[in-house]
Structure 1
Amino acid sequence: MRPSRAAQTTAMTTDKATAINPDPRISMGHDALDAQSAAPSADPLPATQIHQMLQQQWGDALLQRLHVIGRIAANLGTPAYLVGGCVRDFLQNHPVPDIDLAIEGDVRAVAEACSAELSGVQCTYHAHFGTAILQYPDGFQLDLARCRIEHYPAPAALPEVQPAAIQTDLIRRDFTINAMAISLDPEKFGDFLDPYGGRADLQRRLLRVLHPHSFLDDPTRILRGLRFAVRFQLQLEANTRGLLEEALTQDIFARLSGARLWRELKYLLELSDLPAALEELGAWQLWPLLRPTPLEVESLLAKIRRGQQEIRWLHCHFPDEKLCDTAVLLTILWRDIPWAEAEKRLHYWPVADGRYILNDLHRLSKIPAALAAASHPSAVAQLWESLSLPGILALLAEYPESATITESGRYYLLKQRGLTSPLNGKDLQAMGLAPGPQLGTVLRRLHDARLDGAIKDKETARQWLIRQGILPSTQP
């Protein structure tokens, strides 16, 4: 299971304190109380209704598995809960790709007990994170994590973690919509925990943080929140927007490592509805994270849409081709900015194919005119070869109205890119050519001749070499 993506900064630090003061609005201080009192309420969901909804949406087989895990955990004195994103998606009747369980106690003991009792279930425990994975024979997977509290020693720092109870675990999370849980305990299976109004916020399409220091503690929550806003059509709650603006005035993203920032930006660029996400990026005043604010946003978004179409086209025609999709999108996003701006970001972020992006940005502006001036197919192919695959797709996305560029690029990808010379280096040496740089030059000329249609097989290639004076006319 992934480490938690949320946090909290208040004084509660032990399970004992939680047991004495189980109400998180008290134990977590006034910040949590303010978050709850500002949140709307929703009609209660009784356990019987939750049980029925689980049965209807997830089916009897999965429901039975949850009952069994709840029983095993309860027998060990470590109650189990459905928690976080799977509860959020369940309430919206959305498909739930990952099911996360929070355990009030020893995760390893619960996971190993499940593995011992359930036929074919494999347990993988990650001691560093206090998490475990249960893998069922049919491929189904459950992620388990210990309920915990997180304290941030400094803004944007990684948190310090201690065990806690479920109520405390919920307040450490990022947004109210992710701070809900469902009990799997046999005595109260289906009890719905929603202390911060997450269900009501979902109904009202609001995105609300849980405490005033949320964005300062973990700036990556801002980008996660943007993705949630796009995915679920949410609006920032008024106080949350104010907290966002306050965090930006403190230049909070500058405190993140390049790896942490790039991970969140990569998730953003991988959204299917990326144009909508980029529109939100502007509304949230976050363009400077990716690039200087564009002057013509709509034009840029149109190019992004075409870039996504080009990516789909390539995956359709070359399903086994490895492509860094984000490199295509970054190349499009950076076409009109100073080269140094792109270089600065690529030196900071661990972007795959980063050096190719810089090469493409340097070359792309010259390609259209050079294509128009090229007189032979080999010259055209050499121009396309000077670009990486993401750079080619970015150029096609930029000039959709140019039949010359579109047809040329498609022809190169579908036909020219796969052409090879009929003769290789060993063939040429067998014909008497010495190894060395000259051999590479001859191979390049043979490749060009194949592109231009001058040769098609080994015999026509041999005759061409004789006509070019590379081989003697007496060559057998």
Structure 2
Amino acid sequence: MSLPAPDAETLRQQLTQALTPAAREVLALAIERAAALQLPLYLVGGPVRDALLGLPIVELDLVVEGDAWLLAEALASATDGRLTQHAAFRTATVALEHQGQPLTIDVVTARRERYPAPAALPIVEPATIQEDLARRDFTINTLALRLLPDGDVVLLDPFNGREDLARRRLRVLHDASFEDDPTRILRAARFVARLELAVVPHTRRLIDAAVRQELLLRTSPPRLLNEIWLLLDEPAPERALALLHTWNALPQLGLSWSPSIFTTFPAARRSLAPQLLPQVYLALLWLAMTPAARQAFGERYNLPAWARTLARELPQLLALPLDRPLDAVALEALLRRFPVALLHALALSSPATIQANLRRYLDEIRPLPPLLSGEELRALGIAPGPTYGRILRALRQAQLSGMITTRDEALAWLERLRDDEHAGSCYDPSRHSEV
């Protein structure tokens, strides 16, 4: 028996509570512009799902029956937003800042899709909102709210998504869903992990069949990599990775499973800034892989520059002699060139001695500000050139060894340097490294 439909006032309240004040104002503006253009407007998918769950809406996903570009252009013009248009699917994104809050609005033309082959990109054409909802992945993402100019909202739920949401279950729309788009396997893992859902048995059988057919290996690497980034951006990615491991899907992504991520991933979240987490997660996954598997992953995917740097530097970091106590000067000499995400990942997954060295460097040595800068050397009348590097390196070594600890002591050290008859040309700063 289906759940009774909520009344319009309840829907309005749920939507209002899920939106920030800035998002509410921008959505009201979108409704006004759509009405002026005579374009039926709908809020669809994830935002509606999250509003019904009492979760905050992070992004606005809008569908129009008609030309999405017309609304996106009007919205970008009204908000001074940055407009990005995608001709293949007649979609657009408006990125803007309102009331000091960054917002992203996706504006999509309602469409139907036809897949010419498994794992291929779809052929699309304009359609009704009902047809648009029918092309989606899971019933919980087929919910839509018709947004009317008078502020009223009407719920569309053609596949009983609200009931599945209430019963905390994940159900695919049709039997060919994972054949059409194998990346839905990764999305299934993300939704199950984040929303604490149970995969219904028939959907699980379809996932298992798609994995047995190795459909993920037939999917383009850019699409897979995008889904991997989305997974690593989840609140607890280890849960989704564990599901993919259970489903035997990780090898088709070029990833390996390690139970240690149940310890290292949460430890990373407790100690690191959120913007650093995806890089640290990736490094932790690579640390659990063989060198050959890491190389194959890098060759398969067109990684961004930061990820290529991690992949290049990881073997060299692992080769360092960090399994014995080292002083501050030696630690900085060994570690200063490596990306901080890589150092954090190794610290989270290493034995005690290596971890102690890395923690000391990350927590005490790396954050230690220099006592003098090149600009200060210039202001003190020292001619620019290679001399600067030698002076600053010698000063840093004295600082790390504890011989110089304050700016006044550094200036006194520099004065003794200047008193050398060869100051600024052919002197040896290390001769003056003691206070």
TM bucket, shorter chain? 0.7 to 0.9
Aligned-pair CA distance for 1:233: 0.6
Q: Which of 42, 51, 63 is equivalent to 1:90?
A: 51
**CA–CA separation in structure 2 for the residues paired with 1:393 and 1:472:** 36
Name the amino acid aligned to 1:337: M
Shift of 1:267: 1.5
Distance 2:218 2:70 in 1: 38
Q: Does 2:68 correspond to 1:107? A: yes
Hey, what's the Cα distance between the residues in 2 that align with 1:278 and 1:262?
14
Secondary structure in structure 1 of the residue aligned to 2:124: strand
TM-score (norm 1): 0.72
1:135 to partner: Cα distance? 6.2
Give, as a single letter, the amino acid of the residue that structure 1 aligns with 2:277.
D
How big is each residue's C-alpha offset from its partner over 1:69-95, in whole Å with a ceiling of 9 and x where there is no partner? 657646755322221111111211211
What corresponds to 1:161 in structure 2?
Answer: 124
* Separation (CA, whole Å) in 1 of partners of 2:289 and 2:23: 51
Looking at structure 2, the residues matched to 378 and 147 of structure 1 have their Cα atoms a distance apart, in angstroms, of 62
Describe the superposition over 1:207-249 as per-residue Cα deviations: whole angstroms up to 9, x where unpaired. Answer: 1111111112112211122111111111111111111111111
| Offset at residue 472 of structure 1 (A) | 8.6
- Aligned Cα RMSD in Å? 4.2
* 8 Å CA contact retained: 1:331, 1:361: no
In the alignment, structure 1 residue 387 sits paired with structure 2 residue 338:
yes
Is the counterpart of residue 358 in structure 1 residue 312 in structure 2? yes
Matched to 2:364, the amino acid is Y
Query: Does the aligned pair in 1 maintain the 2:373–2:392 contact within 8 Å?
Result: no
Distance 2:26 2:388 in 1: 66
> Contact 1:47–1:188 at 8 Å: present in 2 too?
no
Question: Is 1:242 aligned to 2:205, yes or no?
Answer: yes
Amino acid at match of 1:385: R
Q: Quick check: 1:411 aligned with 2:364?
A: yes
Given that residues 100 and 142 in structure 1 are in contact (C-alpha distance below 8 angstroms), is that contact kept between their aligned partners in structure 2? yes
Task: Give percent identity, aligned residues only.
Answer: 31
Higher relative contact order (CA 8 A, sep 6+): 1
- Structure 1 letter corresponding to 2:332: A
Alignment partner of 1:332 out of 284, 301, 314 = 284
Provide the C-alpha distance between the structure 2 equivalents of 1:67 and 1:459, rounded to a whole number of angstroms. 64
Partner of 1:152: 115
* Contact 1:151-1:160 at 8 Å conserved across structures: yes
Structure 1 unaligned spans of 5+: 1-39, 316-322
For residues 30 and 390 of structure 2, the distance between their equivalents in structure 1, rounded to whole angstroms, comes to 68
Residue 91 of structure 2 is matched in structure 1 by 131
SS state of the match for residue 191, structure 1? strand
Distance 1:333 1:143, change over 3 A: closer
Q: Which AA in structure 2 matches 1:471? A: Y
Equivalent residue for 1:460, pick from 373, 392, 413:
413
Does the aligned pair in 1 maintain the 2:112–2:124 contact within 8 Å?
A: yes
Q: CA deviation at 1:460?
A: 2.6
Task: For residue 42 of structure 2, give the secondary structure of its aligned residue in structure 1.
Answer: strand
Deviations 1:440-471 (A, max 9, x none): 77865564344334565355357579799963
Tell me, yes or no, if structure 1 residue 451 matches structure 2 residue 404.
no
Q: Indicate yes or no: 2:194 matched with 1:231.
A: yes
Structure 1 residues 142, 392: closer, same or farther in 2, change over 3 A?
Answer: closer
Structure 2: gaps (5+ residues): none
Helix, strand or coil: the match of 2:272?
A: helix
Deviations 1:166-205 (A, max 9, x none): 1100011111111111223469943321111111110111
Query: Contact between 1:384 and 1:409, CA under 8 Å: does it hold in 2?
Result: no
Instruction: Give the Å deviation of 1:150.
Output: 1.5
**Cα–Cα, structure 1 residues 397 and 142, in superposed 2: closer, same or farther, change >3 Å?**
closer
Contact conserved, 1:275 with 1:304, CA < 8 A, in 2?
Answer: yes
Distance 1:347 1:121, change over 3 A: same
Query: 2:5 — aligned with what?
Result: 44
Deviation at 1:339, TM superposition (A): 1.0
Distance in 1, matches of 2:287 and 2:410, equals 41
Using the size of structure 2 for normalisation, the TM-score is: 0.78
